[in-house]
Amino acid sequence: MPESTINALIPWLIVLLALIVLLAMSVRVVAEYERGVIFRLGRLVGAKGPGIFLLIPFIDRMVKMDLRVVVMDVPAQEVITRDNVTVRVNAVIYFRVVDPQAAVVKVADHIRATSQIAQTTLRNVLGQSELDELLANREKLNDILQDIIDKQTDPWGIKVSTVEIKEVELPETMRRSMAAQAEAERERRAKIIHAQGEFEASTKLAMAADVIAKEPVTLQLRYLQTLTEIASERNSTVIFPVPIDLISMFMKKFGGDSKKDEKQG
């Protein structure tokens, strides 16, 4: 190829190369879970995506926003409850971007801002709750935290779906006190149950005594049943109760005979 032809093609090759570079700078691809927020000469144009679209080189600028749910650990916070107990609490928060334009324009770093809001809200809400409420009504506190954080992040285009308190760390002295309280409560319940059992047993025994008093034969049946139970245990010693009435009858008889003998003597 003549040198003159090559020299003539060089400008066209440069232009073609520049067009290819500009086209590469213009083409943008946004995934299904992303949105591209477009700025044209510094002014907000809107959010585009998902798919492929073109930008004006050196004029348009795009900021990608991820719309997937973000799972973020809230660092452990030292909280003083309303009943003056110091606890250490951590939590987890689930949120996502629902308005990518607001998340770009209205807040510099939406993830860090949401984290700070979650930390301060966690301290404030738990500081107004008592320890028993924190331990027993955790679901209620989770709903309160979610509602407050969601209202504060709503202007930024952030939707907080769930807030969960993960762990509550108590001081060692408080754990020992709670263990002693729980043990005392269990002993109290055991004593109450034992007393109720004694009361019910005494009531039934009184009813049984009334039946036996009306029908003396039932007492003999009980003796026979007791002997059967003792014999089944293979004991070497058998203690059999003898009715006092039977003994007193013999005592009266022998007593009467001795008195007759004394009179005769």
Q: Which domains does the chain have, with CATH numbers?
A: 24-65 (no CATH), 69-170 (3.30.479.30), 216-245 (no CATH)
- Work out the mean pLDDT of the chain and round it to a whole number: 82
Lowest-confidence region among 69-78, 187-196, 232-241: 232-241
Question: Model-level pTM?
Answer: 0.64
DSSP state letter for 82:
T
Whether the predicted pLDDT of 26 surpasses 90: no
Whether the predicted pLDDT of 51 surpasses 80: yes
- Does residue 161 contact residue 94 with C-beta atoms inside 8 Å? yes
| Residue 134: partners with Cβ closer than 8 Å, 6 or more residues away | 81, 87, 89, 126, 141, 165, 168
Instruction: Give dist(CA 99, CA 34) in Å, integer.
Output: 11
- Does residue 46 contact residue 76 with C-beta atoms inside 8 Å? no
Long-range contacts of 130-135 (CB under 8 A, 24+ apart): 130/81, 130/82, 130/83, 131/81, 131/83, 131/85, 131/87, 131/174, 134/81, 134/87, 134/89, 134/165, 134/168, 135/168
- pLDDT greater at residue 30 or residue 210: 30
pLDDT bracket for residue 213 (50, 70, 90) = confident
Instruction: Give dist(CA 261, CA 256) in Å, integer.
Output: 9
pLDDT for the residue numbered 84: 85
Long-range contacts of 149-152 (CB under 8 A, 24+ apart): 149/93, 149/114, 149/117, 149/118, 149/121, 152/117, 152/121
Average pLDDT over residues 110-126: 92
Lowest-confidence region among 75-89, 97-111, 206-220, 247-261: 247-261
